[in-house]
Amino acid sequence: MVEDSESDIQLTKIAFKKAKLMNRLSIVRDGKSALQYLKNEPPYESAARPDLILLDLKLPRLSGHGVLKEIKQDSSLRLIPVVVLTSSDLDSDVLKSYELSANCYITKPVDINKLLEVVKSIEQFWIKIVRLPPVPKSS
């Protein structure tokens, strides 16, 4: 999860716990750190490759759109599904996200019960239904 808002991080953690998701939720708080994490650069040399990225758009150091662009241009990262999970409901943000090859766009609800529904839906679809591509073998 790439999110800079502490309250949104805490709400998402609560939603994961209430949804009884056993998946590990790793969190980075800005766009530059997200790319460092994904590329196993310091201080994230031992970070596990995520199966799914939850990406906010309004991030410090590098916007969510900047992160998305970098991910989708990198042959070693582009197959990781990216779910844009953001408070923005602007048509321009939705359009730009899909132009940059986001896998889906969800406007983040502020109500914990609605967020719980979103988290359960993400789990149901992306973890239980979708067949994700295999992790590329290191050369």
Q: Within the chain, which residues score under 70 in pLDDT?
A: 22, 138-139
Residues ≥6 apart with Cβ < 8 Å to 66? 31
**Domains of the chain from N-terminus onward:** 6-129 (3.40.50.2300)
- The tens digit of pLDDT for each residue in 27-65 reads 999 999 999 999 999 999 999 999 899 999 999 999 999
CA atoms within 13 A on the CB side of 49: 16
